[in-house]
């Protein structure tokens, strides 16, 4: 996987030189050439409520061991706490002294670079002035900046970080102050895990950013780390156990940082990053809609069709460049300062498009009002359909569903069981049926392959359990018409029992329904006739096969039969042959 990340960094021309990295900066301190402070400027899109700042592809950077060795901080880009002492608590002398030490180090670096960029000396004087720092802190506070926000410097209208003149000075400073001995774990060459070439292995590897919201440290998490005696082997120390040069370590770090920033999708407690073996236009990337969906249902419907169009274009030869393309997807989280690789998937782009097309097709389900298909659900909505809240979904189940969506395969039995339990709870509580939940139930049977499960009502379905669910929906609708103000209806009293032991319950409900039919026939004879015929046809489909007990999988068929009939009843009851149709959707 690391060699694939290194290839991604090279193909995307990411700057992967030790001592340099990309960073996102939220604020710029504005100075004139004579060092006069002119205010704080927000970077990025200030109009965006979620604005995180502007990404800079090349910023000076020190690894954690280098920061420890120098007892210092980063150059040109640092936190507001370091640059301006924002948020420093005088009541905590130790923390205040530490922040002051880092601030002094930052100012010293600015001063030393002023031999290359002479105007920086004027900024150095301003940052050393307590009155100027007070003004900077006041401006940052007014803009609601946080001490951890990244800050950089702007001089005469130009961001210093954009001026490449500091690059050579920074390389020289690192070589002079850090030396090669601190950068490599051994003076002997070793075979690289990435390239297979003989390299001087880096002693430690740079950390991965962007995982703090899934368990990682805010300062970064290590992907390759051997800081415990139990981890090394053969007498090797630290990262010599997975030998890579500094350059190679920087390559995979920059690739992961870029992917997390631009191509990550948040799951529960983890992030999925993905990329392709060749350049794929954003409009042809099916992953974003699969995992995040869209803000409106029309866009979600377009997302479901996108993978199908791509698949057709590949198979008809209109997109030959995609035939040999591959996808890669990694699930990441953080734990104890380390990056955890939860999952890694790879395959052909064509197979990906086919799997996502099948995923949306199999999840298709009629809308609960009977008006066509429900819009394709977002991936997390499908996962959340198995539990009370998304946070309650077990991570192994979520990972398995992710595999099913991306690479195909059957829907896990556990997912069906949990979705069924939640669907039953919704029905009994009088909650509207959840489209993603019912779609997941249907997908389970579709992918089993031995049951023909339509997205709509199937009057010819071979399973009596399915028709038992239909019966209960019809009896419930009939009671709703006859007794619209009843406190505890058929569903509240009998759904749980009918879905497990239908033979014990449906006969009793059938006898009671005769009174309901008489009541409805007195006022709406056409509607009563419709219900009478529909109930008779369903009993005919069951014939002498009324089940005494339903297994869990048969209970799922019962739930789908109930839902399909519920969605079909309003449409049928309001059809032209029913002249008295104004109340045909009661209890729908």
Read off the pLDDT of residues 363-408 as tens digits, 9 standing for 90 and up: 999 999 888 899 888 899 999 999 999 999 998 899 999 999 999 9
Q: What is the mean pLDDT of residues 518-527?
A: 91
Per-residue pLDDT, 494: 92
Look at 97-111, 283-297, 453-467, 538-552 and tell me which has the smallest mean pLDDT: 283-297
576 falls in which pLDDT band (50, 70, 90)?
very low
Distance CA 249, CA 382 (A): 37
260 falls in which pLDDT band (50, 70, 90)?
very high
pLDDT mean across residues, the chain? 88
In the numeric block, which tokens belong to residue 242?
């997975």
219 falls in which pLDDT band (50, 70, 90)?
confident
**Position with higher pLDDT, 266 vs 151:** 151
Closest listed residue to residue 152, CA positions, set 17, 40, 36, 33: 40
Residues 209, 260 contacting (CB under 8 angstroms) = yes
Does position 571 have pLDDT exceeding 60, yes or no? no
177 falls in which pLDDT band (50, 70, 90)?
confident
Per-residue pLDDT, 588: 29
Does position 584 have pLDDT exceeding 80, yes or no? no
49 falls in which pLDDT band (50, 70, 90)?
confident
Tell me: the pLDDT tens digits for 454-472? Answer: 999 999 999 999 999 999 9
Does position 298 have pLDDT exceeding 60, yes or no? no
Does position 532 have pLDDT exceeding 90, yes or no? yes
Q: What is the mean pLDDT of residues 154-179?
A: 90
**Helix 464-482 × helix 552-573 angle, to 10°:** 40
Residues 465, 557 contacting (CB under 8 angstroms) = yes
Q: Which regions of 35-157 does DSSP assign to beta strands (E)?
A: 37-42, 54-60, 78-79, 150-155
Per-residue pLDDT, 320: 85
Distance CA 424, CA 559 (A): 7
Q: What predicted TM-score, i.e. pTM, was given to this entire model? A: 0.78
Share of the chain above pLDDT 90, in %: 59
């Amino acid at each position: 996987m690391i060699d694939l990340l290194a290839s991604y960094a090279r193909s995307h021309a990411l700057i992967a030189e030790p001592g340099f990295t990309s960073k996102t900066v939220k604020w710029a301190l504005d100075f004139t050439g004579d060092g006069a402070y002119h205010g704080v400027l927000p970077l990025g899109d200030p109009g965006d409520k979620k604005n995180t700042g502007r990404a800079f592809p090349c910023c000076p950077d020190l690894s954690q061991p280098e920061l420890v060795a120098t007892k210092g901080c980063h150059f040109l880009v640092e936190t507001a706490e370091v640059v301006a002492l924002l948020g420093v608590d005088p009541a905590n002398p130790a923390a205040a002294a530490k922040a002051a030490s880092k601030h002094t180090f930052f100012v010293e670096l600015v001063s030393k670079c002023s031999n290359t960029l002479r105007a920086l000396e004027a900024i150095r004087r301003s940052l050393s002035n307590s009155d100027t720092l007070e003004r900077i802190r006041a401006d940052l506070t007014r803009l609601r900046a946080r001490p951890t926000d990244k800050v950089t410097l702007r001089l005469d209208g130009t961001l210093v970080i954009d001026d490449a003149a500091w690059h050579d000075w920074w390389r020289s400073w690192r070589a002079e102050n850090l030396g090669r001995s601190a950068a490599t774990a051994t003076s002997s060459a070793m075979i690289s895990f990435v390239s297979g070439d003989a390299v001087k292995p880096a002693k430690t590897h740079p950390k991965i950013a962007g995982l703090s919201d899934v368990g990682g440290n805010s300062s970064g998490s290590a992907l390759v780390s051997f800081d415990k005696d139990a981890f090394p082997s053969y007498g090797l120390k630290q990262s010599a156990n997975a030998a890579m040069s500094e350059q190679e370590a920087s390559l995979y770090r920059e690739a992961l940082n870029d992917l997390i920033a631009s191509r990550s999708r948040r799951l529960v407690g983890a992030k999925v990053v993905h990329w392709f073996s060749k350049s794929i236009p954003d409009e042809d990337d099916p992953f974003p809609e699969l995992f995040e969906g869209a803000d409106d249902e029309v866009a979600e419907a377009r997302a479901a069709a996108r993978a199908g169009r791509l698949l057709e274009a590949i198979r008809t030869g209109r997109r030959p460049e995609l035939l040999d393309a591959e996808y890669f997807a990694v699930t990441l989280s953080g734990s104890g300062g380390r990056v955890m690789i939860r999952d890694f998937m790879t395959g052909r782009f064509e197979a990906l498009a086919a799997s996502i097309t099948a995923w949306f097709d199999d999840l298709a389900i009629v809308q609960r009002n009977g008006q066509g298909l429900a819009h394709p659900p977002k991936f997390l909505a499908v996962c959340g359909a198995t539990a009370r809240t998304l946070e309650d979904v077990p991570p192994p189940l979520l990972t398995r569903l992710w595999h099913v969506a991306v690479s195909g395969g059957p829907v896990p039995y556990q997912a069906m069981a949990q979705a069924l339990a939640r669907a039953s709870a919704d029905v009994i509580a009088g909650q509207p049926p959840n489209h993603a939940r019912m779609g997941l139930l249907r997908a389970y049977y579709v992918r089993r392959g031995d049951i023909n499960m339509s997205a709509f009502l199937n009057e010819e379905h071979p399973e009596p359990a399915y028709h038992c669910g239909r019966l209960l929906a019809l009896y419930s609708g009939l009671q709703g018409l006859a007794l619209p103000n009843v406190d505890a209806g058929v569903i509240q009293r009998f759904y749980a029992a009918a879905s497990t032991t239908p033979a014990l319950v449906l006969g009793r409900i059938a006898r009671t329904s005769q009174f309901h039919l008489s009541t409805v026939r007195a006022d709406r004879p056409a509607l009563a006739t419709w219900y009478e015929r529909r109930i008779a046809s369903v009993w005919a489909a069951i014939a002498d096969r009324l089940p005494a007990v339903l297994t869990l999988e048969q209970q799922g068929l019962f739930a789908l039969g109930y839902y399909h009939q519920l969605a079909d009843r309003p449409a049928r009851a309001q059809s032209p042959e029913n002249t008295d149709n104004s109340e045909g959707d009661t209890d729908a």
